[in-house]
Structure 1
Amino acid sequence: MIIAICDDQRRMLDKVYCYCKKIVQKKTEVFSYTRPEDLMQSIYRGIIPDLLILDIEMPEVSGLEFQKQLQRNKMDIDIIYLTSHSEMMQEAFGRNVVAFLNKDNYEIRLAEILTKYEQELSKVLEIQCEGKIKELELKYVLYIQASNKYSEVYYRQPGDIKTDYLLSGYTLSRWQEILPENQFCRVARNVILNYGNVKKIDRDMVYMTDDKCFKIPKGKVRQFRTAYHAYMRKQVVIL
C-alpha cells in the first residue's frame, strides 16, 4: 500500500507523516509533499498512491482542484481530506472521498481509517489465468461479465487509465457465492457490479468509473439505488 500526503504547511505535513508512519504496517510506504504539483509529477513518474491525504485548501492548487485533475485524467485514487473549513465539505463530496477530518483532532479517527483501509486492500481474489494464480485486490474490481462458459473480471488499479480483464472459469453464480453482497450486486443476468466503482446512476443506467454503462432491469432500479446509497454512506467518515 502507498500513502501520499500533501499539505502546504510543513509543520502540519510532518506531523501527519510521522503519525501515519507510526500506525501503518511496515510494508506500507508513506510519501509527503508540500506542493500538489510535485505530488502529481510523482504520480506521472509511476509512484501511484492507493490513498491520498490532502489539505482541502492550499494556495497554488487546492485539494478540491487536485481531485478534479485526477478525475480529468481518469485516475481513481481515494482521498482523505484534512480541513479547518467545514463549509468546503459539501463541494468535496463525491466519488473516492473516504473521509473529512478536522486538522485539530484528526488523530481520533485517522488510525482507525488507515487500519480499515489496509484490511480492505488485503482482501484479494485468486484467479487462475494461463496456468498461474493471479491475485487481484477486491477493491479494484469494477465488474464481472458472463462470457459463454467463463467470466471476465474487469479491473483498474490506481493510476491506470485503461481497464484490463482476466478470464475466469467461474460462473456468475459462483462469483455471487464468493463476493461480499454488501459490495457487489448482480444487477442483470450477465453482470455483477462493484458498488465502490460506480460513477453515477442516471435513471435506469449505471455508469462505471471506466465509463462502461449497464442497464438496470425494470423493477430493480429503486432496489439498486437504495443498496448503492447505503454502501456509499458507510464509506465516508466526517469528523
Structure 2
Amino acid sequence: MMYRIGICDDEEACRIKISESIRNIALKNDIEVKIIQYESGIQVMDCEKPDILILDIEMEHIDGLKVRDLLEQTDNEVLIIFCTSHDEIMSKAYGRNVTDFIKKPVREEEIEKKLLHAINIINRRVKWICLNTISGLTKFKISDIVYGIAQGRYLKIYMLDGSEYFITDKGVSQLYEMLKDMNFARISRSIIINFENVNTIGDEIIMTDGVKLKSSRRMKKQIQEDFFNYMCKVARVERADR
C-alpha cells in the first residue's frame, strides 16, 4: 500500500528537510510513500489530498488551524500531524483527526515516531468487502457500514454517507460470520450493527446516523458486555500508540 504524505509549510527549507526525512524513514521501514508538498493552506484545499498531512500552524492567509477545520468539514479521512515552534499554540490545535504534534526545529527521529503512529491508524481502519447488490458486485469500506437489516429476501445495509444497498447473496447470518471479527454484533435475528458506528447502548441502541435500534431481550446483556469490551480494546490500542 502506498501512503500519500503531505507537507504544508510556507518555508521551502522546512518542506525540503521534512521530505528528506520521510524518504529516509520510508526506506528504513520498507514503506511506499508519495510525498506531496504544499506551499500554503489554499493548495491543500485545492489540490490532491494526502492520507497524512504534516501541517505547519503559523502560515499566512490560511493558518494550520483553519486548514484543520476545513478538512474536517470536507474530508474526514486526512490525518493531521501539526508542526510548530510555539508550545502555547498546541492547546488550540487538537481535533478529531489530529494524531500528533512535532516541535520545530524538526528531528527525523520524532517525525518517524509520529508518522508510523499515523500509518498504524490508517492500517487499522482501511478494510474492504465485496458484496453482490442489485446493481452488481460492489466494494464497501467496512468501517462505513453502520448496520444491516433483513428485508424480505434481501439484506439491506446502511452506510455512513446515507446510502443504502440491498445485498442479494448474503443473509444476516452469513454477513455476520464474515464481519464478527471486525467489531460487528448481531443484536437480533434480523439486525447486525457495527460497534464502530454506535453512539449509545442502553434500552435502545443509537447509531451515529441517529437511527435507534432494538436488540432482542435475551441478547441485550451480551451486547452491552461486548460493546464494553470493544471500547476497552479501542482504549488499549490508543494508549499503545502514544
Secondary structure at the residue paired with 1:145?
A: strand
Label 1:152 to 1:50 Cα distance change in 2 as closer, same or farther (>3 A): farther
> Following TM superposition, by how much is the alpha carbon of 1:6 offset from its aligned partner in structure 2, in angstroms?
1.6
Asked whether the 8 Å contact 1:121–1:137 carries over to 2, the reply is no
Gaps in structure 2 of 5+ consecutive residues: none
Label 1:132 to 1:94 Cα distance change in 2 as closer, same or farther (>3 A): same
Asked whether the 8 Å contact 1:79–1:99 carries over to 2, the reply is no
CA RMSD, 1 decimal: 3.9
Q: Aligned partner of 2:53: which letter?
A: L
Label 1:18 to 1:230 Cα distance change in 2 as closer, same or farther (>3 A): same
Matched with 1:54 is 55
Instruction: Give the TM-score taking structure 1 as reference length.
Output: 0.67
> Following TM superposition, by how much is the alpha carbon of 1:146 offset from its aligned partner in structure 2, in angstroms?
1.2
Q: Distance in 2 between matches of 1:115 and 1:35?
A: 24
Label 1:15 to 1:223 Cα distance change in 2 as closer, same or farther (>3 A): same
> Following TM superposition, by how much is the alpha carbon of 1:40 offset from its aligned partner in structure 2, in angstroms?
0.7
Q: Distance in 1 between matches of 2:82 and 2:230?
A: 28
Label 1:72 to 1:82 Cα distance change in 2 as closer, same or farther (>3 A): closer
Q: Which of 33, 36, 48 does residue 38 from structure 2 map onto? A: 33
Matched with 2:174 is 174
What are the superposed Cα offsets for residues 200-234 of structure 1, whole Å, 9 maximum, x if unpaired? 659866453xx444457676668636633642663
Instruction: Give the TM-score taking structure 2 as reference length.
Output: 0.66
> Following TM superposition, by how much is the alpha carbon of 1:35 offset from its aligned partner in structure 2, in angstroms?
0.8
Matched with 1:144 is 147
- The farther-off stretch of 110-119 and 167-176 is 110-119
Q: Aligned partner of 1:128: which letter?
A: N
Q: Aligned partner of 2:149: which letter?
A: A
> Following TM superposition, by how much is the alpha carbon of 1:125 offset from its aligned partner in structure 2, in angstroms?
0.9
Matched with 2:163 is 164
Matched with 2:185 is 186
Q: Aligned partner of 1:164: which letter?
A: S
Matched with 2:8 is 6
Label 1:166 to 1:14 Cα distance change in 2 as closer, same or farther (>3 A): farther
> Following TM superposition, by how much is the alpha carbon of 1:31 offset from its aligned partner in structure 2, in angstroms?
1.7
Matched with 1:17 is 19
Q: Distance in 1 between matches of 2:41 and 2:158?
A: 31
Label 1:76 to 1:146 Cα distance change in 2 as closer, same or farther (>3 A): same
What are the superposed Cα offsets for residues 56-100 of structure 1, whole Å, 9 maximum, x if unpaired? 444443333322223334x31231313345555554444333444
Label 1:91 to 1:131 Cα distance change in 2 as closer, same or farther (>3 A): same
Label 1:21 to 1:126 Cα distance change in 2 as closer, same or farther (>3 A): farther
Q: Distance in 2 between matches of 1:216 and 1:92?
A: 39
> Following TM superposition, by how much is the alpha carbon of 1:54 offset from its aligned partner in structure 2, in angstroms?
2.1
Q: Distance in 1 between matches of 2:40 and 2:72?
A: 19
Label 1:83 to 1:230 Cα distance change in 2 as closer, same or farther (>3 A): farther
Q: Distance in 1 between matches of 2:65 and 2:180?
A: 31
Q: Distance in 2 between matches of 1:58 and 1:225?
A: 42
Q: Aligned partner of 1:234: which letter?
A: V
Label 1:60 to 1:191 Cα distance change in 2 as closer, same or farther (>3 A): farther
What are the residue-to-residue correspondences of 1:205-224 with 2, within 5 Å?
Answer: 206=206, 208=208, 211-214=209-212, 224=227
What are the superposed Cα offsets for residues 27-72 of structure 1, whole Å, 9 maximum, x if unpaired? x543221211111122xxxx34333332344444333332222333
Q: Distance in 2 between matches of 1:226 and 1:152?
A: 27
Label 1:117 to 1:226 Cα distance change in 2 as closer, same or farther (>3 A): closer
